[in-house]
A and B are shown apart, each in its own frame.
Chain A
Amino acid sequence: MSAITQDTAIRTGRVTRMLIYVTLLVFTLFYLLPLFVMVVNSLKPLSEITGGNMMSLPKTWTIEPWRQAWSSAQIGVEPTGLKPYFINSILMVVPAVAISTVLGALNGYVLTKWSFRGDKIIFGLLLLSCFIPFQIVLIPMATVLGKLGLAGSIPGLILVHVVYGIGFSTLYYRNYYASFPTELVRAAMIDGAGFFRIFWRIMLPISGPITVVCIIWQFTNIWNDFLFGASFGGQIQPMTVALNNLVQSSTGVKEYNVHFAGAILAALPTLLVYIVAGRYFVRGLMAGSVKG
């Protein structure tokens, strides 16, 4: 979007503009409200929450809820805090994103620049796989992971996320590479470069924008996944599942401030990626269409 900053030709009157600004303001508050409440209340002692107003700023500021959420809160039966689960998520996300992105890039390269009989059908199959409801694969996946000895393990979760991430990463790279002329590869072939050399020397160096898009997409999806983590994680739970356990635990007093600190911790990596690289996401999505 930021790439196109064209002005509309529409002129609006004073009153209309006022109404527009008021509406936008209301929605700004609507979108910010939950974040504001979470942040503010994660910095209060519990007594201030149960006894006070959720909208008011803390009277006594404290980072104790954050410390607890990170290292000592009760998750399930163990008082470990979210830290080990955060590490689980990192260990799962990094390889899963890397593998699915590399495979997507290679697939996109083959499907656009080395087309062969039946490649359209293969692309169609990969594309459709992006949109299945995962409920349809839960039962056999549980069986297969068990047979492979990967149930309840990080490699098992990596496998699941790679398998169901390939479709999207292939889609992104295919659409991006399609905007570069096939002649580029033909010229390199005549120059004497082979399949991998062309990929490495010519395609990869121009893949920056779409790689950003693909990594952000995969990272957000895999980090935020709950269904697979809950179904196949077993003891090795990712952050989302642990957060849910923390929040839903029925024992003891509900420590809302700790819950909020935990929720923010779970959201932090994706929020950070979004803040740092969100701009490139939109730009990268448009890059393909601009190049052609």
Chain B
Amino acid sequence: MGFLDIQNVTKSYGAVEVLHRVDIDVQEGEFLVLVGPSGCGKSTLLNMIAGLEGITSGDISIKGRVINGVHPSKRNIAMVFQSYALYPNMTVGQNMTFGLEMHGVPKPERNAALKDVAKLLQIENLLDRKPGQLSGGQRQRVAMGRALVRNPDVFLFDEPLSNLDAKLRVDMRTEIKKLHEKLKTTIVYVTHDQIEAMTLSTRIAVMYQGFVQQLGTPKEIYDTPANVYVATFMGSPAMNVLPSRVVMHDGTSYAQIKDANGADLLLKFSQANMAQWAGKEILLGIRPESITDPDGADRNSGNIVSLRNRIGVTEPAGADTFVTMELCGKDIIARMRADANVGAGQEFDFAINMDKAVVFDPKTEERIAP
């Protein structure tokens, strides 16, 4: 039983079910990120935890108490909104203590709490300003401060960084992470940015079309995605997925693919259980960083397969150079060291780290190996 328990929760608007049997348990001090594309139901789930949306069926409990029908203000939660939702007519200080005031906390205590939090977030000098006089980053801080002052059991964040510019977003991301490490509070955080999800979370729930596709640590999600959707959603550039077929030679299993000229190539599997798929179609998933130039290949890997193929386009990106090539009629992205000597149209020896390959069932799109 977790600290925050979401059991079998569904949500319908009229006849349309937008969340289907969601089961997530969050431990105390955990940083859970809900990630998924627009419209997958992340905000709806978060609002249900907050009490801003009703629950159609199932239970949500905090610290063992079922809170389904409890008013939002009585759940001991705090929420940071995408638009920050700072009260425009109140000063920063009033904004942050409004919740305490509404809960009948006496003024001296309110001020003490305000002082602590303002110091923590380094916004002491902003307390007398109105939200209209703040920059985006400052508003973001105030919105977090308003949540922190309440000292709640659970923090809820709904895409708090998506209104910031790219640079500030990275800075605030680091800051939220530091804050969590310092305060060890329980956080549920919604984003559609998979990098935010990977960097911040202790666990991630990947959502799609109202289903939780996979719940796990960032490493689990990245290395062993539950299905093709999770595999391609997490990671940038996305994982390459190739239609392929399993063939056996001398008791060893290989993935059979076609290069840019249509010639057959064989990639040896690292996974032992592939024999049972012999002769069958599969989907082979390989992340761009597992296709490199020979010098850039992972030294610890026990199964680097070399593959000669024609280079399509090269895209130098500073730290790395991305290269496209054609396999099985699809554009495949490989990630080279920045100084790899590659040119468009040239034949090149790619090194594929088959240890990291992931195999999916083409019918169900579920992972079958590793």
Contact = CB atoms under 8 A, between A and B. Distances in A.
Chain A–chain B contact at Cβ < 8 A: yes
Interface of A: 180-181, 183-184, 186-193, 197, 201-202, 205-206
A190 B79 contact: yes
Interface in B52-74: 52, 71-73
B368 to A, nearest CB: 43
Contacts of A184: 85, 87
Interface in B68-105: 71-73, 77-79, 81-83, 85, 87-89, 98-99, 102-103
24 contacts: A180-B88, A183-B81, A183-B83, A186-B47, A187-B85, A187-B146, A188-B87, A189-B52, A189-B72, A190-B51, A190-B72, A190-B73, A190-B79, A191-B98, A191-B99, A191-B102, A192-B99, A192-B102, A192-B103, A193-B102, A201-B98, A202-B89, A205-B89, A206-B89
A125 B312 CA distance: 62
A165 B146 CA distance: 40
A206 B132 CA distance: 12
Interface of A is mostly: helix
Given A181-B83, A197-B102, A190 B78 contact: yes
Given A193-B98, A193-B102, A197-B102, A187 B79 contact: yes
Interface in B132-188: 146, 150
Nearest to B75: A190
A184 to B, nearest CB: 5
A191 B73 contact: yes
B98 A188 contact: yes
Contacts of B89: 202, 205-206
Given A181-B83, A184-B85, A184-B87, 20 more contacts: A183-B83, A186-B47, A186-B72, A186-B85, A189-B52, A189-B73, A190-B51, A190-B52, A190-B78, A190-B99, A191-B98, A191-B99, A191-B102, A191-B146, A192-B73, A192-B99, A192-B102, A197-B102, A201-B87, A202-B87
A187 B73 contact: no
Residue among A180, A191, A193, A202 with max Cβ neighbours from chain B (10 Å): A191
Residue from A183, A190, A197, A206 with most neighbouring chain B CB atoms (10 Å): A190
B50 interface: yes
A260 B51 CA distance: 64
B102 A206 contact: no
Contacts of A180: 88
B353 to A, nearest CB: 46
A202 B90 CA distance: 8
A164 to B, nearest CB: 32
A174 B85 CA distance: 19
Nearest to A208: B89
A184 B88 CA distance: 9
Nearest to A204: B89
Nearest to B89: A205
A181 B163 CA distance: 14
A190 B49 CA distance: 11
Contacts of A189: 52, 71-73
Contacts of B47: 186
A181 B85 CA distance: 7
Contacts of B78: 190
Contact of A186 (B52, B98, B102, B103): B52
Given A191-B73, A191-B99, A192-B73, A186 B83 contact: no
B311 to A, nearest CB: 49
